[in-house]
Structure 1
Amino acid sequence: MKKVAIFGKPGNGKSTLSKKLASATGIQLYPLDSILYKANGEEVDRKSYEDTHENILSLDKWIIEGFSPINSLDTFNRRLEEADTLIYIDLPYFVTYWLVTKRLIKSVFQKPEGWPEGSSVLNGTLKSYKVLKLCPKFWNDSFLQRVEKLSINKSLHVIRSISELNTFVEKNVQ
């Protein structure tokens, strides 16, 4: 486990899992939100994002988590190709909607883990709901089949429950 791509629907625990994994392995974490957004919450231009993404992929070790609108399928596919470990978090939709809502409620008291500085949690939550409505068109069985084909000579983990999510690091990192 040297180059790890963590991906899935909004609010599925990618940030939390990736931080735990980075801490347990000592591998540098690159959350896509920190690459996609400036400190004031504004999106970076596509060329800057792509250059930064390519620079990270050229490193010996990395953990990259996320998938965002500016994050084109080209860079997503490049990340999947370069990774030696793919972690697909595929929680049921009712769980995902609850986690997005829970993140919004908790944000009244503390900033959500992995949330970009200067970004509105309310606006991000509304975007997450919009994206979740579209997710079945992308995050579906044919996507999983494509990932399975890509995972030859890679380690593929598909996480389908909160329990699997919570125990992933202890079960997979020595």
Structure 2
Amino acid sequence: MSSDPEVPGGNGVMAPSRVWVVGTPGSGKSTLAGALAARTGAPQVQLDAVYWGPGGVPLKPQEFTDRLAELLAGDRWVVDGQYPAAVEGFVDRADCVVWVDPPLAVSWSRLLRRTVRRWIRREPLWGGTRETFWTVVGPHSILWYALQVHRSQRQADAELFDRLRDAGVRLVHVRGGDALSSAGFGGH
């Protein structure tokens, strides 16, 4: 029997201790992970915040996995993101994996609004960088990247679920709507 706390408003659903949230860019991973962390009191680990160092320079692979190992050493956490090294090295510690999988039109429009908002408001990103006109519309824009990786990322998420299907991990696939309620963790 688990000693995990019941999720507030979760209708008797026991809160997993270690949740990993995956999905394409703009799918709502960080939003869902933040809400789950707030509800359960578990620390949120944003892989983007771990991966990107000062000036927007990525950490060296070993530094990234070492830092992540430190952050995931505890018994409770909510991770959002899915850098391949992170997934391969640590997803087996999760007792729940949530795949946030809205249609491309939904995730891309969210990403567009978020990116433009960050550019206009000059909001700092990981590593202290900020959006510029060219990072919004240029060839290295997250918007273009999201279109390029959407299909392959969905395939990687499906393969991850297949791999974990018999591993005793709670798997939750959320296609749309309110991800928090759809994931079985209660509504707002």
Greater Rg by CA: 2
SS in 2 for 1:81: helix
Q: How does 1:1-150 map to 2 (within 5 A)?
A: 1-67=16-82, 71=83, 73-107=84-118, 108-109=120-121, 111=123, 115-122=125-132, 123=135, 126-140=141-155, 143-150=157-164
Say what the alpha-carbon RMSD is for the aligned residues. Answer: 2.6
Give the letter for the 2:123 counterpart: K
SS in 2 for 1:139: helix
| Counterpart in the other structure of 1:164 | 178
Give the letter for the 2:64 counterpart: Y
TM-score, reference length from structure 2: 0.75
Compared CA separation, residues 143 and 116, structure 1 to 2 (3 A): closer
| Structure 1 CA distance for aligned equivalents of residues 97 and 157 of structure 2 | 13
Structure 1 segments, 4+ long, off by >6 Å, are none
How far the C-alpha of 1:39 sits from its partner, in A, is: 4.2
TM-score, reference length from structure 1: 0.80
Compared CA separation, residues 156 and 44, structure 1 to 2 (3 A): same
Residue 24 of structure 1 contacts residue 173 of structure 1 at CA under 8 Å; is this kept in 2? no
* Structure with the larger RCO, 1 or 2 (CA within 8 Å, 6+ apart): 1
Compared CA separation, residues 173 and 58, structure 1 to 2 (3 A): farther
How far the C-alpha of 1:13 sits from its partner, in A, is: 1.2
5-14 or 151-160, larger mean C-alpha shift:
151-160
| Structure 1 CA distance for aligned equivalents of residues 175 and 80 of structure 2 | 17
Compared CA separation, residues 104 and 127, structure 1 to 2 (3 A): closer
Structure 1: gaps of 5 or more residues: none
| Structure 1 CA distance for aligned equivalents of residues 25 and 109 of structure 2 | 11
22-31 or 117-126, larger mean C-alpha shift:
117-126
SS in 1 for 2:66: helix
Residue 8 of structure 1 contacts residue 90 of structure 1 at CA under 8 Å; is this kept in 2? yes
119-128 or 78-87, larger mean C-alpha shift:
119-128
Give the letter for the 2:179 counterpart: L
Structure 2: gaps of 5 or more residues: 1-15
Give the letter for the 1:98 counterpart: S
Residue 24 of structure 2 contacts residue 153 of structure 2 at CA under 8 Å; is this kept in 1? no
User: How many residues in Structure 1 have an aligned counterpart in Structure 2?
Assistant: 165
